[in-house]
Structure 1
Amino acid sequence: MTAPLHLSVLDLVPVRDGQTSAQAVAASMRLAALADRLGYTRYWFAEHHNMPAVASTTPPVLIAAAAARTERIRVGSGGVMLPNHSPLVVAEQFAALEALAPGRIDLGLGRAPGSDGVITQLLRMSGTTSDVDRFGDHVADIAALVQPDGATLRLTSGREYAVHATPGASGAPAIWLLGSSDFSARLAAELGLPYVFAYHFAGEGIERALELYRTGYRPSEAHPEPRTFLTLNASVAQTHEEARARALPQLRGMARIQTGRPLQALETVDQAEAATPDAATAQVVAAMERRWVIGAPGEAAAEVRRLAERYGVDEVMVSPVAGAYEHEGADASPGRERTLELLARDVLPSG
Structure 2
Amino acid sequence: MRLSVLDLVPVRTDQSTGDALAATVSLAQVADRLGFTRYWVAEHHNMPAVAATSPPVLIGILGAHTERIRLGSGGVMLPNHAPLAVAEQFALLEAASPGRIDLGIGRAPGSDPVTSMALRGAAGRDDTDIENFPQYLDDVVALMGAGGVRVAVPRQNYVLKATPAATSEPRMWLLGSSMYSAHLAAAKGLPYVFAHHFAGRGTAEALEAYRSEFQPSEAASEPVTFLTVNASVAETEQEAEALLLPNLHLMAKLRTGQPLTAVELVEDAEALPLHPQTTGLIEAGRRQAVVGTPDQAATQIRDLAAEFGVDEVMVNPVASARRGTDPRTAPGREQTLELLAKELL
Q: TM-score range by the shorter chain?
A: over 0.9
1:135 alignment partner in structure 2: 133
One-letter amino acid matched to 1:147: G
User: Normalising to structure 1: TM-score of the pair?
Assistant: 0.96
Q: Using the TM superposition, give the Cα deviation of residue 158 of structure 1 relative to its aligned residue in structure 2, in angstroms.
A: 6.5
Q: Are residues 1:269 and 2:266 paired? A: yes
Q: Distance in 1 between matches of 2:202 and 2:107?
A: 17
Q: Using the TM superposition, give the Cα deviation of residue 127 of structure 1 relative to its aligned residue in structure 2, in angstroms.
A: 7.1
Q: Using the TM superposition, give the Cα deviation of residue 299 of structure 1 relative to its aligned residue in structure 2, in angstroms.
A: 0.6
Q: Distance in 2 between matches of 1:245 and 1:329?
A: 18
1:281 alignment partner in structure 2: 278
The structure 1 segments of at least 4 consecutive aligned residues displaced by more than 6 Å after TM superposition are: none
Q: Are residues 1:254 and 2:251 paired? A: yes
Contact map agreement 1:180 1:198 (CA 8 A) in 2: yes
Q: Are residues 1:9 and 2:8 paired? A: no
1:18 alignment partner in structure 2: 14
With over 3 angstroms needed to count, the CA separation of the structure-2 counterparts of 1:166 and 1:129, relative to structure 1, is farther
Q: Distance in 2 between matches of 1:211 and 1:307?
A: 15
1:114 alignment partner in structure 2: 110
Q: Using the TM superposition, give the Cα deviation of residue 129 of structure 1 relative to its aligned residue in structure 2, in angstroms.
A: 4.8
1:50 alignment partner in structure 2: 46
2:198 alignment partner in structure 1: 201
Equivalent residues, number: 343
Among residues 47, 60, 63, which one is paired with 2:59 in the alignment? 63
Contact map agreement 1:86 1:128 (CA 8 A) in 2: no
Structure 1: which 5+ residue stretches go unaligned?
none
1:93 alignment partner in structure 2: 89
Among residues 135, 143, 146, which one is paired with 1:145 in the alignment? 143
Q: Distance in 1 between matches of 2:115 and 2:245?
A: 28
One-letter amino acid matched to 2:196: Y
Q: Percent identity?
A: 56
Q: Using the TM superposition, give the Cα deviation of residue 152 of structure 1 relative to its aligned residue in structure 2, in angstroms.
A: 1.6
* Root mean square deviation of aligned Cα: 1.1
Contact map agreement 1:234 1:292 (CA 8 A) in 2: yes
With over 3 angstroms needed to count, the CA separation of the structure-2 counterparts of 1:129 and 1:73, relative to structure 1, is farther
Q: Are residues 1:154 and 2:143 paired? A: no
Secondary structure of the residue aligned to 1:232 is strand
Q: Using the TM superposition, give the Cα deviation of residue 132 of structure 1 relative to its aligned residue in structure 2, in angstroms.
A: 2.1
One-letter amino acid matched to 2:77: M
Structure 2: which 5+ residue stretches go unaligned?
none
Among residues 14, 22, 27, which one is paired with 2:23 in the alignment? 27
Secondary structure of the residue aligned to 1:337 is helix
Q: Distance in 2 between matches of 1:273 and 1:197?
A: 31
Q: Distance in 1 between matches of 2:231 and 2:155?
A: 55
User: Normalising to structure 2: TM-score of the pair?
Assistant: 0.97
One-letter amino acid matched to 1:120: S
With over 3 angstroms needed to count, the CA separation of the structure-2 counterparts of 1:127 and 1:28, relative to structure 1, is farther
Give CA-to-partner distance per residue, 1:275-296, whole Å, 9 cap, x none: 1112112111001111111110
Q: Distance in 2 between matches of 1:161 and 1:238?
A: 60
With over 3 angstroms needed to count, the CA separation of the structure-2 counterparts of 1:89 and 1:334, relative to structure 1, is same
